[in-house]
Amino acid sequence: MSVGLMHTVSDTSPNDWHYLSEGGATLVLSYRGPSDARFNGMVLRLRKTDIRKPNSLPGNAPAKNIRSPDASVIQRECQERIVGRLIPGRYLPRLSLVGTDPDWLSQLADQVHRRRPLLRREKDAIDVTRSNALLATDLTASGSWSIEIKTRTCRYCMHSYLKSTKGEASAEGFCPLDLYSGKKERVEIALCALWDEWIGKAGHINNLKIFVDGQTLTADDVRSMEALRRAIKESSSNPHCLESAQLRDAFVERVAAVLLSSQSLGILARLQRTLDPLDIEGLTSLWDGYDTSKGNVQSNPLPAEPDPTMDDYAAFIDQYLTSGKVMDHDHPRLEDLRYYTLSYLLSATFKDCSIIVRPILFHSQDNTNQADFSGQEPSDYQDPVTFIDLDPKPIRKLRHWAKLDKEIVEAYRLSGQLKSCFEE
């Protein structure tokens, strides 16, 4: 496969790139340098490496593992060949590959080090051995405000309880199923819970990030909160709406209106549901049946390698969109084991992704938000909701997910809690 590099970032100054945010695998920087048609309105997504492993320290040769060293290439190809067949283009960012080099990445890593959260700095760093990175649309640099929501659903409330017992930060009052419900009251309940957790934890939660003019806000900073108040007021059709309203109410009302107008969460919920008909427990049981039929006995029968290729996923999508719709998932067959394994891995991508909501793009009278996807939407139309972090998951994570699922269920069972989450 041709890598297809369009530009190199090495001819820009590392100081032109400002720290924006980061997740478990990627660090994101926004371009703030002199006007440059290549990089204006774009972010750089850099892969990270775990510094707690000796062979993963920056500057060392990459350890041999089952992940391709060109993860940026894989992510772009995944969007073009796989995700783009399941999600309309109006909900996706523009991605392109850019060249990098170790010296430039090392300078950049030094420059952003102090901007990173302490807990992140202790765990990982920019992988300076990478030869390319992803350039993507900067969804926070709209001249207004935007938010990022982590939409993870699988046993979310139960997992939040487990995290709380370990002293880890989580939005315990937030239930993603409320957000996905499509019901105004429940969506607003979910957003209120996210806001309250964001305020209560000074903005340091994974589930919600708020940006104004490309800057990440913190809830305990007076200037951040005033900037958000101004941005919401300026983007409102009624510029006087915040004179007496609470900021929380204005935030919830505006974001809920955008989410309810968009089909994005409905698309995401359908993919999460239909790509995971067995759940991890059912998939484990199917693999156990396969091993038993081969005369093998393992404590954890789930595979750890090799990772599926993009050709494997493309063939899976062909089946998923055709014969996969009539498969009897209540009685899965061993001969369909490969199908169910790829299906679960892809469902994990959609369960772990995030959405960026840009209220400035929302117009309540714009009926194009309600249009069905036919593959013929205007090429320049962008929905106010965009999916990000849609990279494929490594197959070795299956064993981790199976173990974690058991831990989550057992911890919640012992807690005696009776909370019920439901879909409509």
Confidence of residue 30 (pLDDT cuts 50, 70, 90): very high
Q: For residue 167, what pLDDT is reported?
A: 65
For residue 300, pLDDT over 80 is answered with: no
φ/ψ bin of 221: left (φ > 0), alpha (ψ from -120 to 50), beta (otherwise): beta
pTM: 0.86
Of the candidates 391, 394, 415, 414, the residue with the CA atom closest to the CA atom of residue 134: 391
Mean pLDDT (whole number) for 393-414: 88
For residue 112, pLDDT over 50 is answered with: yes
* Cα dist from 74 to 21, 27, 96, 316, whole Å: 21, 17, 12, 17
The answer for residues whose C-beta is within 8 angstroms of residue 90's C-beta and 6 or more apart is 377, 381, 382, 383
Calpha distance 257→187 (Å, rounded): 9
Q: Which two tokens stand for residue 149?
A: 């929501």
Mean pLDDT over the full length of the chain: 85
Q: For residue 164, what pLDDT is reported?
A: 66
Q: For residue 292, what pLDDT is reported?
A: 87
Confidence of residue 301 (pLDDT cuts 50, 70, 90): confident
For residue 103, pLDDT over 80 is answered with: yes
Q: For residue 205, what pLDDT is reported?
A: 81
Model confidence pLDDT, tens digit, residues 82-94: 999 999 999 999 9
Domain ranges of the chain: 9-54+69-137, 181-261, 264-361+381-393
Calpha distance 272→270 (Å, rounded): 6
Mean pLDDT (whole number) for 192-198: 93
Q: For residue 65, what pLDDT is reported?
A: 39
Confidence of residue 423 (pLDDT cuts 50, 70, 90): low
For residue 242, pLDDT over 60 is answered with: no
Q: For residue 159, what pLDDT is reported?
A: 63
Share of the chain above pLDDT 90, in %: 61
For domain 9-54+69-137, the CATH class is alpha beta
